[in-house]
Every structure is written in C-alpha cells, then in structure tokens.
Amino acid sequence: MARVAPILSCLISLLIIAGCDSGLKPPFEDPLPPGAIRGTISYSGEWPPQQSLVDLRFVPLTKAPQTVFDIFADLENLRFSGRLQYFVQDDTFIVEDVVNGVYVYNIIAQQFGNNILADWRPVGIYTENDGIIVVNGDTTTIHIHVDFDNLPPFPPE
C-alpha cells in the first residue's frame, strides 16, 4: 500500500497538469469590431465625358499612394464604396467592414479607362482633421466636395 500512494499522487498530478491549458494567460478576447465610413459628396464644375466615366467610388487609404499601383498594394484590406452616381449634384456612400485605424488619404476615385488596375485618378479628396479615424466599430461621417474644374494633384504633394 505504501507504494500505491506515490504512484496515485503522480497520476493525479499528471491529470491536473494535462487539464491546464494556458496557466494564468488571460482569456481570448475578440478583436475590435470593424467600423464604417458614411459620407455625402457634392459635385461642381463640368463632369468628364461619359466615355471616361468607367467607375466612380470612395476609397479610404492608410497611406498616400505615389502611384496608382500603391492603391492596390494591400488588396486584403482595401475597402471601397459601391459605384457612385454620375451627372448628379449630390450623392451618398457607405463603406462597411473598415478595419480600425487611421485613414490619411480618402478620395473619390474615377476609373477613366479599361485597365482596372491602372486607369484611376482622384477627383476629390477629404482633407479635414488630417484624415479619418475608425475605432471600435464606430461609423464615421464625412463630406467630400468634388470640383471637376480643379482636380487634386496625383501623386499628392
């Protein structure tokens, strides 16, 4: 019987150790929920010809691109609005599932040709507050003005 006690004690200790998964590690926490960007757009100036309006969307970016290809560099996290209306005075948009972070280059982007990866240019840019901050599932609301007679420079200065 004296030999059984140490063996039984070792078996109980092994069962307790095997049942402990992470010790004092805190429980897994869900990542912050994604947010959204909602906006209104006002247009002025003469609209480009219909044939150069292949697509028009709002695109929030975490960095100012130096080339059109920089816009598509992080495809996994790239978010953009649905297609915007053409030849209107005002429009609205929403971009959902936006990863939490700071978006410093927020544009209305026009696709002007058939090359979906190269034929884009900014026609309006959100410049207030040094960008947009998306935090903890919040919805940020902005307004952008597009002046087709005074387009923003690209790449940005």
* CATH number for the domain that contains residue 84: 2.60.40
Domain contains 1? no
In a domain, 4, yes or no: no
| Domain of residue 108, residue span | 35-147
Residue 108 inside a domain? The answer is: yes
What pLDDT is attached to residue 141?
97
Distance CA 117, CA 59 (A): 14
Flag whether 12 is in a domain.
no
Residue 65 lies in a domain: yes
Return the pLDDT at 32: 81
* Predicted model pTM: 0.78
**Residue pLDDT tens, the chain, 157 long:** 566 556 666 556 655 655 555 656 666 565 789 999 999 999 999 999 999 999 999 999 999 999 988 888 877 888 999 999 999 999 999 999 999 999 999 999 999 999 988 999 999 999 999 999 999 889 999 999 999 999 999 888 7
Count the domains in the chain.
Answer: 1
Q: How far apart, in whole angstroms, are the C-alpha atoms of residue 98 and residue 131?
A: 14
68: in domain:
yes
User: What Cα–Cα distance (Å) separates residue 38 from each residue in 25, 80, 152, 153?
Assistant: 38, 11, 21, 24
Contact 134, 85 (CB under 8 A): no
